[in-house]
Amino acid sequence: MTSSNAHSPNTQPYTFSQRAQKITSSTIREILKVTERPEIISFAGGLPAAKGFPVDTISAAFERVLSRNGRTALQYGPTEGYAPLREWVTQDLKRVGATDVNINQVLIVSGSQQALDLLGKLFIDPGSKVLVEAPSYLGALQSFSLFEPDYVAVPTDEHGLVPEGLTDERVAGARFIYALPNFQNPTGLTLNLERRKALVKRCAQANVPIIEDDPYGDLRYAGEALPGLLGLGREVGATVIRLGSFSKVLAPGLRLGYIVAPEAIISKLVQIKQATDLHTATLTQMAVYEAIQDGFLNFHLPAVRDIYKEQCGYMLEAMQQFFPADAHWTRPEGGMFIWVTLPEHINAYELLERAIKQNVAFVPGEPFYAGAEPKRNTMRLSFVTVSEERIREGIEILGRLIAETAISKAA
């Protein structure tokens, strides 16, 4: 609190902003602290598989950039990003059906998480309505929350977001809808083509911009690739802001991603980014461009997809064997996560407490909900970084604990 008497100094050493006072420690953060212990079998993480990182290619790219253009790579650069990398993005977007994007519609950012921060700054005033899937990506909720929106949840079912849920009342005055159409975090669900078309059509009609977050789109290992919302949206006049990331296709430790949006939005975002961190590291942008310019990802991604497919298979197989019949879960076509719906009377936090005592960890579903009553009988499992053997071991333990909980509650 600040002093109300303009002539007396503060009586506390410092005063935090309202938004900072509202921040509480993240549940996932606290859980991850426990999961750092090596004996823990952790399905809680969101880490990509390090064995898929193309270390040699990246190393060679940094070496070439520094030896050929060292001084440019180490100097300040334009806020918009490194032009050849932005041009690469415009070309790459053709794969997801967006054929007419130009370089002025692309802003390079320091990882997709930064895109969320910049978009929060651009669109959210305290109390602004923001539409999110229920459940949605926790990191986005945390990022947007710094700007104090009012979340309104869009209904979802076993196929993901339900476009018919975008009623007049829900969309009225909404600053944007945030959606992850491919292998959603946390559910692993993919929006089918019919729903994608219905979503962009509805948002175009209602003048609600769509933020399409697609960090996992290139990690599809089953089913057929679908066009992104960006391209579909342009056909019907929707405003679509697409977020892309190099974290899963190359490596997250580089912190590199991009935003694609209409020029009027990008030019405002450029001013916001300039105030936020001037620009993303020049060297990193040049090295990533050096690594991927010749089609490297075409060779690299199939190997990465194989890793994820195999890992996902291990977990689905173990769940089939060890989970009780009254638990249900998603079968992702890509990405990193499986979403489990437990019998209704099981609280996933209580299950987690018992699981950690047996050295198994996961993330309860509750923190992924905003603007809606959370389903406390849900949990997110990541299958990416655990060995086959330990996946089986951990899932067996979880299956037994779920069955025991069901029995004890019934008794």
Q: Site residues for its own copies, window 204-243 (CB under 8 A)?
A: 205-209, 239
Near its own copies in 378-407, by CB under 8 A: none
| Shortest CB 115 distance to its own copies, Å | 9
| Shortest CB 370 distance to its own copies, Å | 14
Shorter beta-carbon distance to its own copies: residue 228 or 233: 233
Cα end-to-end span (Å), the chain: 51
User: Tokens 């978009």 correspond to what residue?
Assistant: 119
Binding segment for its own copies (CB under 8 A), chosen from 57-65, 89-97, 182-190, 354-362, is 57-65
Cis peptide before 186 (omega within 30 of 0): yes
User: Tokens 């949206």 correspond to what residue?
Assistant: 233
The SS3 call for residue 139 is: helix
Shorter beta-carbon distance to its own copies: residue 106 or 265: 265
In angstroms, how far apart are the furthest CA atoms of the chain? Answer: 72
Shorter beta-carbon distance to its own copies: residue 174 or 179: 174
Which secondary structure element, helix H or strand E, spans residue 121, and what is its range?
helix 112-123
Near its own copies in 63-92, by CB under 8 A: 63, 66-67, 70-77
Near its own copies in 95-114, by CB under 8 A: 110-111, 113-114
Shorter beta-carbon distance to its own copies: residue 12 or 298: 12
Shorter beta-carbon distance to its own copies: residue 114 or 341: 114
Binding segment for its own copies (CB under 8 A), chosen from 263-271, 299-307, 344-352, 371-379, is 263-271
Shorter beta-carbon distance to its own copies: residue 223 or 253: 253
Binding segment for its own copies (CB under 8 A), chosen from 163-171, 314-322, 376-384, 386-394, is 163-171
| Shortest CB 365 distance to its own copies, Å | 20
Locate the DSSP E strands across 28-133.
41-42, 106-109, 129-133
Cβ atoms of residues 334 and 383 within 8 Å = no
Cβ atoms of residues 137 and 214 within 8 Å = no
- Round to whole Å and give the CA distance between 105 and 282: 19
- Round to whole Å and give the CA distance between 111 and 259: 10
CA 288, 290, 291, 294 dihedral sign is: positive
Q: How many CA atoms lie within 13 A of 275 on its CB side?
A: 9
Shorter beta-carbon distance to its own copies: residue 274 or 320: 274
| Shortest CB 154 distance to its own copies, Å | 15
Near its own copies in 170-189, by CB under 8 A: 171-176
User: Tokens 């750092």 correspond to what residue?
Assistant: 36
The residue among 236, 180, 226, 228 whose CA lies nearest residue 203 is 236
Binding segment for its own copies (CB under 8 A), chosen from 202-210, 216-224, 294-302, 357-365, is 202-210
For residue 223 the two structure tokens come to: 């089913």
Q: What is the size of the binding site for its own copies (CB under 8 A)?
A: 98
Shorter beta-carbon distance to its own copies: residue 211 or 346: 211
| Shortest CB 53 distance to its own copies, Å | 5
| DSSP string across 4-36 | S-TTS--SSS----HHHHH----HHHHHHHHHT
Residue 30 sits in the site that holds its own copies (CB under 8 A)? no
Binding segment for its own copies (CB under 8 A), chosen from 94-102, 265-273, 308-316, 340-348, is 265-273
Instruction: Rule CB under 8 A: choose which of 220, 279, 380, 392 binds its own copies.
Output: 279
Backbone angles phi, psi at 94, to 5 degrees: -60, -30
The residue among 137, 126, 252 whose CA lies nearest residue 186 is 137
List the x/- string, 127-146, binding to its own copies by CB under 8 A: -xx---------x--xx-xx
Instruction: Rule CB under 8 A: choose which of 193, 275, 303, 407 binds its own copies.
Output: 275
- Round to whole Å and give the CA distance between 318 and 363: 18
Instruction: Rule CB under 8 A: choose which of 34, 84, 92, 121 binds its own copies.
Output: 121
